[in-house]
Structure 1
Amino acid sequence: MLRVASVVFFCLFAFGLGQLPPSENFDHNTILDNNGDVRLWWKFNATYITFELQGKTTGWVGLGFSPGGGMANADIYVGWVANGVANVTDRHGEDSNAFPPLDGEQNVETLGGLEESGWTRVKFVRPITACDSDDMTITSNTMRVIYALGSTDGPDIQYHGATNRGTRSLIVLTYANDGQQPPAGETTSNFDLLNDNFAVPAVDTYYNCRVLEIPPAINTPQHIVQIEGVVQTGNEAHVHHILLYECPVSVNGSSLGVDNRCYDGSPPEHLQCTQLLAAWAIGSSAFVFPNHVGFPIGNADSPKFVLMETHYDNPTLKNDIVDSSGLKITYTPQLRQHDAGVILVGHIVSPFAHLIPPNTETFEDYSECGPRCLTDAIGAANVTSVNAFAVLLHSHLLGRSLELKHVRNGTELEPIASDNNYDFNYQETRTLPQEVTIKPDDSLQMLCNYNSKGRSNVTYGGFGTYQEMCVSFLYYYPKIQLTDCTSTPDFGVILGYYLGITNVSVTGQLGPYSTLESIVVTEPPELAGLTVMEIVNAISWNETVADEFSMFLQAIPHSQQCYPVDLKLPAFTFNLTKTLQPYVAPTPNCSQNTETTTMTTTTTMAATTTSITTTSSATLLRFSPVVQMCFTLMLLVTSFFV
């Protein structure tokens, strides 16, 4: 009886008192608002996407996709259940946040709905590609999703009010399975790696580094299969991202539990922990590894200690932030087929040669992980290639679009990952739709497109939120001894050929937190005494000058940082790989969406998009097995006590 009661408690906890469970097992789900009153489930195939939207109301529920985060020019869907019948309408926002009229063409099919216990749920399907000017194509970019609740049923929907609405960023076409089931028979355990009541300094940006111990009980080979951020309640606005690095077996934990500002006077142990193990960023959900891949721990040569780097964002300079955030690591003793690794690809984090002109709408910045580095690292591992399966794209506030390009023999292949609508406050590790094979002679080019409108001075690279980065964290297998493959334009060439500087002196000691203000010109005489920062800010920047500077940076030599743990390959200079044949994305085909008016009968989705009815027995048959189990057990328990 105790076991049955426990299951019943689980069911109540999982679905809430009054919340409606989903009608089936969806691949993805999220809570759209801060109170848990608006929930979204979805799945998709190559042609159509099915949504199930649930809101805490007995009126209408709305979902939309917006170019700017408001109702203006948004693609909107409004649904309700009246007298047991579900309705979903296709609408669009006009040039303001006014009432959204119906589209002339209703590119949506209602699949069912349910109103019960103060909640309304509607289910509908639409084409992924928009062929109607009032609709928006669902893409793999970060999308601005809008939502709202109303107190009355349609079709004459009433205003939602000032509080029953919201906006959030979401990657809709991601292939990560939020509900992915582990392989049959796999058992898992977990442990936390956390900061310990760390008092965040009253500065706008702070990177805290802390050595932590892998639980000693993990002394046999295991695989990490899930990584999840653990953010202390109340600190969500301040914990921006967390990186986890392996420490070599030579590290003995002498600085265990000691907090230190990263990269600045760090203990010697910190400098040895360079092999990237995991990356989490603001907005990320749990990252679940594919079922054939895991990150190795517990081996004789596996790390006993890790270095956790936490980026704190504190723009208002608060002095009372105390934090114990970190990561939850899930692992299994059932080893999977492949060991995974992570490579940092992109622009070396530096204030010197990463320069973004001010007040420009578009500025392209290129960096590269070149063939020489990949050839040496892959060859040293005695493998012929590696396979990428996931990517986290990362820049700061100016980033608008990010792309990890893939070039082979001068031909640009389909990008490994891209996001043309990047949101600094929502960064998700995305599983790739297909694994990408990377060969020794390939080139991985990181492209960031920045918008610096509103800034009056040059923005330089660095760790601060108002400085910039342009990197990606590439998850791959089999694991090789390569953790950092980044580049930067030659700073000396920028000084001499672009700025006309022939000699400089340095004030203080250069380090990762230095700026161009610490470099003072000594020659030529007409520039002597000025800092490099003053000189670059004195340039009359405009879109044309910025474009010319971007092309200059692409043409000059780059310094390659290729940091394998064992190879110790020194930095070297090279020229960015030239693309002889650029990649051309296929043109979306609208004809496949208009050949039939019944969407659910034209794809394999038909079998799983059965309408939801309001008859309890029929609804139960269409719920997922877990939901069916919960309802059945609760009915049994109820009959037991009657």
Structure 2
Amino acid sequence: MLTRAAIIIFVLASLRRVSSKFPPTQQYPYQQELDHGGHATLYWNYDDTYITMELHVKSTGWIGLGISPTGTMKGADIYVGWVKDGRGIITDRHGVGNEFPPLDKVQNVELLLAKEGEGGWTVLKFRRTIDTCIDDDLQITRTTMQFIYAWAKEDPVGNELKPSDKHTFKGKRDINLLGHLNVEKTAFPPGEQHQKFRVTSGGVTLPPQETFYFCRLVPMPDVSEKHHIVRIEAVIQSGNEALVHHMVINQCAHPLPAGALVNQSGECYSSTAPIDHANCVQPLFVWDQGNAANQFPTEVGFPFGEAGDPKYLLLEIHFDNHEKHAGIVDDSGLLITYTSQLRKYDAGMFSTGHLMSELTMIIPPGAPSFPIGGYCSQKCITDSLEASNMEEIRVMAVMSHTNDLGENVTLHHYRGEDELPYLTNDLSDDFNKRLHFLQEEVVIKPGDTLRAICKYNSMDQDKFTYGDKEMCVVYAFYYPRTKLSVCQTQPTIKAMTDILLKYGVNSRYLRPRPTAFSDQNWKMIVDSSEGKNVDQILNEQTWNETMISMLSEQLSSSRVMHICSSGSTRIATFMDALVVTNPYVPSPKVCNVTINVTLHGEAPRLAAYPGFILIHLAIIYFVL
């Protein structure tokens, strides 16, 4: 089963920033520069069935596009095209490893236009169905996908791509092709007046290290009455596009704790951070290379300016400086648009999933898909809605977050004994900290339950991984706003100790008072009868498929501690594990649309001719 998605794009480019000699052939709502240098730009549009893409490349060589479950050639759904002797050519292929990709038996990409122009530019316009339902093809999903690009200097020598037609460069780019709010639903209301403020790094000098988490504490605009934030977008310093991996902007508790350094910056999660992250845990917005701007629906705005609203923001930027260059100065950040003309609804955000804990989140080594989850109980949802005198809320976007081992996050939705369709089932290769807009808003009512299940691949690990390295959280962005902020669970300490007793740990050293576990982990808790800590004892076990399955079942059925935070009130309760009576079964795919495509066409004319399908099939037959 495919669990991750990536896009592979092969392009020819140079090393300096350039501009295409061709404007796009139509107006596109979405576009993305691929290589950070202006050598390749992708424009696209889509409907319920098809996605149309137009690729502009500083190249007179071949160009290809594909979707990969691994971010490599292996298992990729690849499209390769070029313009030669006035003819546009496109082929549908699949990757079988780090080698030449063979042709698919069924060609499912339609070349609409192909042309070359002065300055060495090539334009290919093509379309495919979002899901072809064919084994060699992969579905384009509403999640962020990795774009990996490369280029060759020339077209194939003959009329067909051969193993000798090598690319000369490759790189990566993340884009969310389908996960966008409807443009009409998010348009600014006529006559709405706006103001803007920037939250940037202030000109940080990056250290010569591969990964750097930078934090800056900044005040929100000083307003005396309620305002609405209606749009948030990235402002990336020119030339640093490849360095800025993602940005998170969190709201901070008010008043600030002693020692907080307003307008100061430092390395996140360290002694130089301007504020303890524990005081700024509620995200307002998340941006990464795969996300466009966040523009709220026309009737919705994120409120600030009232008594009790946050007055400070913590900007966190994750820099990826793979080459460890020294002396790079960056002033990237976010541009926030707001208005004093209040909209109908306030937006809000709450988190669900597994509480952050080194003691209760444990992942054994050698597991291909180890599930860990947490949920938001029907009582917490009901109490929050009733306290706000609301009959329902509407979730418009979600953001999933795990760390290195996370491969899939699903947000389940239950009403009574029935499970409803998933809010999200994120199968992308690198979905973390990405804001995904739902195709349709999901209504949450009193009595509903939400459950996040994260799956982790620890096949390349030889030791246990704990909650200091991994996490499982889903943030739900919704309206109208309630006071609900945190709704998460974790196994109780007693449940965890009962489980670990089954794996060779002496009981005398696992039953201190619960407070004795504060700020501890299994590496600190020593079983003196063995002279080893709990982590060492666990890692001495042989974690085969049976053991891993048993541990998974014990964790998922354990009694839990549930945290429901609403405003300044934080309620902890203990309850039995969630039991699902009628699980959701997705409807089978309906596949009744297939594109039978030419391999060759005249450029720059349209290159799909339905009347020549038999000729096309003959060409495919002889090529194969």
Q: TM-score range by the shorter chain?
A: 0.7 to 0.9
| Post-superposition offset of 1:26 | 2.2
| Post-superposition offset of 1:310 | 5.2
Q: Determine helix, strand or coil for the equivalent of 1:174.
A: coil
1:152 and 2:155 are equivalent in the alignment: yes
Aligned counterpart, 1:89:
90
TM-score, reference length from structure 1: 0.79
Q: Is residue 248–residue 317 contact of structure 2 (8 Å, CA) maintained in 1?
A: yes
Q: Determine helix, strand or coil for the equivalent of 1:303.
A: coil
**What CA distance in whole angstroms lies between the structure 1 residues aligned with 2:214 and 2:577?**
34
Aligned counterpart, 2:380:
373
- Counterpart amino acid of residue 380 in structure 2: C
Aligned counterpart, 2:177:
172
Q: Determine helix, strand or coil for the equivalent of 1:502.
A: helix
- Of 450, 456, 467, the residue aligned with 1:461 is 467
Aligned counterpart, 1:484:
486
| Post-superposition offset of 1:82 | 4.8
Q: Is residue 282–residue 427 contact of structure 1 (8 Å, CA) maintained in 2?
A: no
**What CA distance in whole angstroms lies between the structure 1 residues aligned with 2:29 and 2:371?**
35
| Post-superposition offset of 1:54 | 1.6
Q: Is residue 348–residue 488 contact of structure 1 (8 Å, CA) maintained in 2?
A: yes
Q: Determine helix, strand or coil for the equivalent of 2:462.
A: coil
**What CA distance in whole angstroms lies between the structure 1 residues aligned with 2:36 and 2:19?**
18
- Counterpart amino acid of residue 52 in structure 1: E
Quick one: percent identity of the two aligned structures? Answer: 35
| Post-superposition offset of 1:272 | 5.3
**What CA distance in whole angstroms lies between the structure 2 residues aligned with 1:299 and 1:223?**
11
1:439 and 2:445 are equivalent in the alignment: yes
Q: Is residue 362–residue 543 contact of structure 1 (8 Å, CA) maintained in 2?
A: no
**What CA distance in whole angstroms lies between the structure 1 residues aligned with 2:387 and 2:207?**
43
What are the Cα deviations for residues 79-107 of structure 1, in whole angstroms up to 9, with x where unaligned? 3345665x342321353444444433322
**What CA distance in whole angstroms lies between the structure 2 residues aligned with 1:561 and 1:319?**
44
Q: Determine helix, strand or coil for the equivalent of 1:569.
A: strand
How has the CA–CA distance of structure 1 residues 363 and 72 changed in structure 2, closer, same or farther, with 3 Å as cutoff?
closer
1:483-502 correspondence to structure 2 within 5 Å: 483-499=485-501, 500=505, 501-502=507-508
| Post-superposition offset of 1:244 | 0.8
Q: Is residue 364–residue 449 contact of structure 1 (8 Å, CA) maintained in 2?
A: yes
- Of 450, 454, 479, the residue aligned with 1:448 is 454
Q: Determine helix, strand or coil for the equivalent of 1:335.
A: coil
Q: Determine helix, strand or coil for the equivalent of 1:80.
A: strand
- Of 425, 428, 431, the residue aligned with 1:421 is 428
**What CA distance in whole angstroms lies between the structure 1 residues aligned with 2:567 and 2:150?**
51
How has the CA–CA distance of structure 1 residues 444 and 186 changed in structure 2, closer, same or farther, with 3 Å as cutoff?
same
**What CA distance in whole angstroms lies between the structure 1 residues aligned with 2:343 and 2:91?**
45
How has the CA–CA distance of structure 1 residues 328 and 82 changed in structure 2, closer, same or farther, with 3 Å as cutoff?
same
What are the Cα deviations for residues 224-245 of structure 1, in whole angstroms up to 9, with x where unaligned? 1222345666595576542411
- Of 351, 363, 366, the residue aligned with 1:356 is 363
- Of 128, 149, 152, the residue aligned with 1:126 is 128
**What CA distance in whole angstroms lies between the structure 1 residues aligned with 2:149 and 2:266?**
42
Aligned counterpart, 1:587:
588
**What CA distance in whole angstroms lies between the structure 2 residues aligned with 1:35 and 1:267?**
34
**Structure having the larger proportion of residues in helix:** 1
Aligned counterpart, 2:571:
570
1:470 and 2:469 are equivalent in the alignment: no
Q: Is residue 286–residue 434 contact of structure 2 (8 Å, CA) maintained in 1?
A: no
- Of 164, 168, 179, the residue aligned with 1:163 is 168
Q: Is residue 84–residue 155 contact of structure 2 (8 Å, CA) maintained in 1?
A: no
| Post-superposition offset of 1:475 | 0.5
Q: Determine helix, strand or coil for the equivalent of 1:553.
A: helix
- Counterpart amino acid of residue 41 in structure 2: R
Aligned counterpart, 1:560:
562
| Post-superposition offset of 1:388 | 0.3
- Counterpart amino acid of residue 422 in structure 1: D
Q: Determine helix, strand or coil for the equivalent of 2:593.
A: helix
Aligned counterpart, 2:346:
339
**What CA distance in whole angstroms lies between the structure 2 residues aligned with 1:263 and 1:148?**
36
Aligned counterpart, 2:190:
184
| Post-superposition offset of 1:479 | 0.8
**What CA distance in whole angstroms lies between the structure 2 residues aligned with 1:263 and 1:17?**
40
Q: Is residue 245–residue 308 contact of structure 1 (8 Å, CA) maintained in 2?
A: no
How has the CA–CA distance of structure 1 residues 212 and 405 changed in structure 2, closer, same or farther, with 3 Å as cutoff?
same
Q: Is residue 244–residue 317 contact of structure 2 (8 Å, CA) maintained in 1?
A: no
| Post-superposition offset of 1:32 | 2.3
What are the Cα deviations for residues 296-332 of structure 1, in whole angstroms up to 9, with x where unaligned? 1233553332344556779999997876554332223
- Of 300, 313, 331, the residue aligned with 1:306 is 313
Root-mean-square deviation (Å): 3.8
How has the CA–CA distance of structure 1 residues 107 and 560 changed in structure 2, closer, same or farther, with 3 Å as cutoff?
same
Q: Is residue 20–residue 56 contact of structure 2 (8 Å, CA) maintained in 1?
A: no
**What CA distance in whole angstroms lies between the structure 1 residues aligned with 2:37 and 2:324?**
28
How has the CA–CA distance of structure 1 residues 491 and 238 changed in structure 2, closer, same or farther, with 3 Å as cutoff?
farther
TM-score, reference length from structure 2: 0.81
| Post-superposition offset of 1:476 | 0.3
| Post-superposition offset of 1:553 | 0.8
Matched residue count: 574
- Counterpart amino acid of residue 114 in structure 1: K
Q: Is residue 407–residue 457 contact of structure 2 (8 Å, CA) maintained in 1?
A: yes
Aligned counterpart, 2:286:
279
1:177-256 correspondence to structure 2 within 5 Å: 181-196=187-202, 210-216=216-222, 218-230=223-235, 237=243, 241-248=247-254, 255-256=261-262
How has the CA–CA distance of structure 1 residues 614 and 410 changed in structure 2, closer, same or farther, with 3 Å as cutoff?
same
Q: Is there any run of 5+ residues in structure 1 with no aligned partner, and where? A: 1-14, 600-610, 616-642
Q: Is residue 28–residue 177 contact of structure 1 (8 Å, CA) maintained in 2?
A: no
Q: Determine helix, strand or coil for the equivalent of 1:534.
A: helix
- Counterpart amino acid of residue 351 in structure 2: L
> Which moved further from structure 2: 268-277 or 448-457?
268-277
Q: Is residue 92–residue 102 contact of structure 1 (8 Å, CA) maintained in 2?
A: yes
Q: Is residue 509–residue 525 contact of structure 2 (8 Å, CA) maintained in 1?
A: no
**What CA distance in whole angstroms lies between the structure 2 residues aligned with 1:309 and 1:146?**
26
Q: Is residue 52–residue 121 contact of structure 1 (8 Å, CA) maintained in 2?
A: yes
- Of 429, 433, 436, the residue aligned with 1:430 is 436
1:24-39 correspondence to structure 2 within 5 Å: 24-39=26-41
> Which moved further from structure 2: 32-41 or 171-180?
171-180
How has the CA–CA distance of structure 1 residues 198 and 58 changed in structure 2, closer, same or farther, with 3 Å as cutoff?
closer
1:9-158 correspondence to structure 2 within 5 Å: 17-82=19-84, 87-117=88-118, 118-150=120-152, 151-152=154-155, 155-157=159-161
> Which moved further from structure 2: 19-28 or 239-248?
239-248
Q: Is residue 241–residue 282 contact of structure 1 (8 Å, CA) maintained in 2?
A: no
Q: Is residue 217–residue 275 contact of structure 2 (8 Å, CA) maintained in 1?
A: no
| Post-superposition offset of 1:67 | 2.8
What are the Cα deviations for residues 54-99 of structure 1, in whole angstroms up to 9, with x where unaligned? 21113432211223233344322233345665x3423213534444
1:498-537 correspondence to structure 2 within 5 Å: 498-499=500-501, 500=505, 501-504=507-510, 514-521=520-527, 526-527=529-530, 529-537=531-539
| Post-superposition offset of 1:471 | 0.8
